[in-house]
Amino acid sequence: MTTPMKIHVDPASGCNFRCFFCPQTDPEALRHAGVKAGVMKLPMLRKLVDDLASFPGRVDEFVFGNYGEPLLNKSIAEMVRYATASGRIREVSLITNAAMLTKEKAQALVNAGLQKIRISVEALSDEGYLKTTKTKTAFAEIVENIRTLHRLSRGKTFIYVKIIDTGLSDVEKRHFFTTFTPIADAVSIENLMPVTEEAATVVGENGKGMTGVSLSTGRSVCPSPFYSLSVHMDGDVGVCCSDWHHKTNVGSFKERSLSEIWNGEELRRFRSDQLRKSWRQMPQCAGCEMVNHYPIYEDLDQDRDRLTPAYATSCCA
């Protein structure tokens, strides 16, 4: 693939929540792994977007948000504007928990041309937010923030609202759909992923695909490094949107262009090892809980014989 299909970029590495199912609950572990705290500067984001001109095709999706809360970055609206105006991206989207989605920020994002926003509702009551996020967050304010965005957007920004099923009752599920269906373009209840010890305890032996798809437990090749990149706040570039400890870094776009990283030796070797061995044999990936959740139609196992020779000498298949 000569152009990445999806690029995740973190405008901020931190988060205003400490959800029990998210690695952000353990900032000390993240610091121990060398993960830097801070926000991306606007000139760095502009350089990243400008780098897209060196690819032969357009990026299908450019996602603001991966490990942190994008609205912590005061320049987020200008970043969105620059990305949407570039003409090098089909869809610019943003992930947020909506706690900081004030009327002013919502209007700024809509005016900047944001095409899609993915909002994570973490609970359905004040008590639920305290239990899940360890913060005193008013559920009514979350609802009002989303309602305001919906009114201001007038269909310009596609609004997707989801909640993770951490043991929701049938009554709570109905409450979720009743509350958010009128103020969103799509709503969904997603399954809990066992990415922390507490989350794994809740999931138990009843693991399901994040969005209800079947698990591909026998998969040998992770599809992510073959079509996506994950850009961190400090300019480091990885190949996995679930790599909280940045073990899959393959370069920095502060030192090289994004296309040089995409076509570079580090990423070629990473892909080649995936094909010749398995993600299970790679120290950067061993123990991953997310690889089985990629949909079956993204499987590359059946293409290993075709792809292995290509990536043995060249990154372009």
Query: What string of pLDDT tens digits covers the 317 residues of the chain?
Result: 899 999 999 999 888 888 877 776 666 666 655 667 799 999 999 999 999 999 999 999 999 998 889 999 999 999 999 999 999 999 999 999 999 999 999 999 999 999 999 999 999 999 999 998 999 999 999 999 999 999 999 999 999 999 998 889 999 999 999 999 999 999 999 877 655 555 555 554 555 544 444 455 678 888 889 999 999 999 999 998 778 778 889 999 999 999 999 999 999 999 998 888 888 888 888 777 777 777 777 888 888 889 899 888 654 44
295, 311, 261, 218 alpha-carbon torsion, rounded to 10°: 30
Give the pair of three-digit tokens for residue 279.
């993600």
Rounded Cα–Cα distance for residues 183 and 43 (Å): 35
| Beta bridge mates, 62 | 7, 92
Token pair of 226 as six digits: 């073959």
> What is the side-by-side strand order in the sheet with 228-231?
186-191, 158-165, 116-121, 89-96, 59-64, 6-9, 228-231, 236-238, 251-252
DSSP H or E run through 83 = helix 76-85
Let me know: does 316 contact 55? Beta carbons within 8 Å. no
Is the entire prediction scored with pTM above 0.85? yes
Of the candidates 287, 269, 288, 266, which has an alpha carbon nearest to the alpha carbon of residue 277?
269
Residue entry with tokens 């609950």:
25
- Is the alpha carbon torsion for 53, 74, 233, 129 positive or negative? negative
| CB of 274 closer than 8 Å to CB of 225 | yes
